[in-house]
Amino acid sequence: MLKYGQKVFLKNYGAGLVIDKEYKEYLNKKEEKYVLLYFLLDGIKMHIPIKNFKNYSIRDINTQDDILKNLNKIKTTPDFIEEKWNKRYKQNNKKISTGILEKQCEIIRDLRYLKMEKKLPPVEQKMLKRVQGLVASEISLAFDISLEMSYNKIKTISK
């Protein structure tokens, strides 16, 4: 089970911290009912019921080595990018929903490439910004740096 201060990642919210657990007393027995998480990206606090915890796909954040390895994907040139933006958008949403850092870095690489080619529609510009935020939040917690510094780390890698 999660511990106070543990660094976690939730696929649509980014990286966050376990900041509290709520207990309820029932028949003179103290039971854990909720875990309270704080997510860096949007400053959201979320109560997650212990009984539904497995439905949330919460994972530990990646190690610094894993993050650096995956960030190197951003530097590479894409092998193939779907030409139809709506099909590409759906594919990228599926990648985001996995919560896997490698997939998120692939999205950043591909969308940044399209942005440089001036072929990135507004809806995908918004997606790029969101995915960069998800990755930046994980970098921030793993390297113990500010969110702004994490964004800068992503920017400098892709130049």
* Beta-carbon contacts of residue 146 (< 8 Å; ≥ 6 apart): 140
SS3 72: helix
Which whole-number Å values give the CA distances from 104 to 6, 93, 143, 158, in the listed order?
A: 22, 10, 18, 14
Structure-block tokens of residue 5: 């201060």
Q: Which residues of the chain have pLDDT under 50?
A: none
- Residue spans in the chain of domains classed CATH 1.20.58.1290: 64-157
Q: What pLDDT score was predicted for residue 158?
A: 65
- Mark 116-138 as b/e (b = at least 16 C-beta within 10 Å): eeeebeeebeebbebbbbbbbbb
CATH fold of 64-157 reads Methane Monooxygenase Hydroxylase; Chain G, domain 1 (1.20.58)
Q: What pLDDT score was predicted for residue 94?
A: 96
CATH fold of 7-60 reads Thrombin, subunit H (2.40.10)
